[in-house]
Amino acid sequence: MKLIFGVIFQRLALSLVTIFLVSIVIFSSVTLLPGDFAKSILGQSATPETVAAFQRELGLDRPPVERYLEWIGRVAQGDLGDSFASGAGYQRSVAEVIGPRLGNTLFLAAITAVIAVPLALALGVAAALYRNSWFDRTVNATSLSTISFPEFFVAYILMLIFAVNLRLLPSLANVGPETPLDERLVKTLLPAMTLALVIIAHMLRMTRASIIALLASPYVEMARLKGVSRRRVILKHVLPNAWAPIVNIIAFNLAYLIVGVVVVEAVFVYPGVGQLMVDSVQTRDIPVVQGCALIFAATYIFLNLAADVIAIATNPRILHPR
């Protein structure tokens, strides 16, 4: 146990270093973006005087290194800064802008995960047990086709069936902070189904492959020979050894659900972080773009960390590499 905590601590420290490096990449790429917030917010109304007034007020006339140090210093204290939309007498912090959107994204990711993960694991195990049967082939073919179509296409097909033809579900997923839970669930269902269809194949196939590999191993054969029930073989002997790769894939897909669903958000008008980031890039709202990018990076890093920890906890052999 002590060893595990040591590893976790070590990994956490490494993660922080990674995030710090990522922050440099984020800041420099955002700084290199062409265009300008003042010009984009003023559009055709941008005159040199109004643009200059904006630049001065936002501090964009200062050198990049100075701006980076100030930004990272504040981030280290947990302050992501203020959105450029704030002005005299009106403050809008980045946390305030991202907060509700991140909540929506996490909600959608959670609903999708609740649908997709058990389904993928169950189907994967079943497909492995009955491999090369009709069931296995159907599951494989279906999941491969849904992952091959672009997300927006899956989204439109589901919308056509459930919103336009059957009129069962709304096509707009415009949830807000005041939306009650039941309404929120109904509105989130179509986007969640779309995303579930997109991610199930990946997890299902990984589950199937690792279980098939283990089913052929000598200790499983031994267990079978001594008369252990099939159910017990899977749960006690196979799955513990299969967790590591499966958990990694699940973590990868969960991260995707948080950082990569902007297309689905656009189709269903779901107010998530992806849309926010695209929106902010378009308007060059730099603090929000940086905040989103940092949160995305952290999500990836920490979900991977969690996957590693789970893999280690379920399979102590990984702790002592030879």
Partner 1 sequence: MIDLKSIGLGWMRKEAASGRMSRREFIQIAGAAGVTVAAADFMFAKAAKAAPNKGGHFIQALTGGGTKDVLDPAQTLDSYMINVSFGQLRNNLTEIAPDGSLIGELATEWEGLDGGKRWVFAIRTGVTFHNGKSLTPEDVVASFNHHRGPDSKSAASGLVKQIVDVRADGGNVVFELEAGNADWPFIVSDYHLVICPANADGTMDWQSGTGTGSYKLESFEPGVNTRVIRNENYWKEGRAHFDSAENLFIPDAGARANALITGSLHAYSNLDLKTVGLMGRDPNIQIFPITGNKHAVLPMHVDTAPFDNLDVRLALKYAINREELVSKILRGQGEVGNDSPIGPANAYRATPEELPQRPYDPDKAKFHLKKAGMDSLKVQLSLADTAFEGAIDAGSLYAESAKPAGIEIEVVREAEDSYWDNVWLKKPWCGGYWGGRPTEDWMFSQVYQAGADWNETKWANPRFNELLIQARSELDEKKRRDMYVEMQIICSEDGGALIPIFMAYTHAASTKIALPDQIANNWELDGHKNVERWSMA
Residues making contact with partner 1 (CB under 8 A): 34-36, 39, 41-45, 47, 49-50, 53-54, 57, 83-85, 87, 89-90, 92, 97, 100, 156, 159, 163-164, 167, 170-172, 174, 176-178, 266-269, 271, 275-276, 279-280, 282-283, 285, 288
Tokens of 215: 């089913």
SS3 assignment for 36-91:
CHHHHHHHHHCCHHHHHHHHHHHCCCCCHHHHHHHHHHHHHCCCCCECCCCECCEC
Which C-beta is closer to partner 1: that of 152 or that of 252?
A: 152
Kindly state the smallest distance separating residue 42's Cβ from partner 1, in Å: 6
Kindly state the smallest distance separating residue 305's Cβ from partner 1, in Å: 30
Give residue 56's identity as a one-letter amino acid code.
R
Kindly state the smallest distance separating residue 289's Cβ from partner 1, in Å: 11
Which C-beta is closer to partner 1: that of 77 or that of 165?
A: 165
Which C-beta is closer to partner 1: that of 84 or that of 300?
A: 84
Kindly state the smallest distance separating residue 62's Cβ from partner 1, in Å: 19
Kindly state the smallest distance separating residue 192's Cβ from partner 1, in Å: 17
Which C-beta is closer to partner 1: that of 186 or that of 209?
A: 186
Tokens of 140: 């494989």
Kindly state the smallest distance separating residue 189's Cβ from partner 1, in Å: 14
Tokens of 14: 């490494």
Which C-beta is closer to partner 1: that of 59 or that of 176?
A: 176
Kindly state the smallest distance separating residue 161's Cβ from partner 1, in Å: 12
Cα 190 from Cα 172, distance rounded (Å): 9
Which C-beta is closer to partner 1: that of 285 or that of 308?
A: 285
**Cα 265 from chain centroid?**
13
Which C-beta is closer to partner 1: that of 177 or that of 321?
A: 177
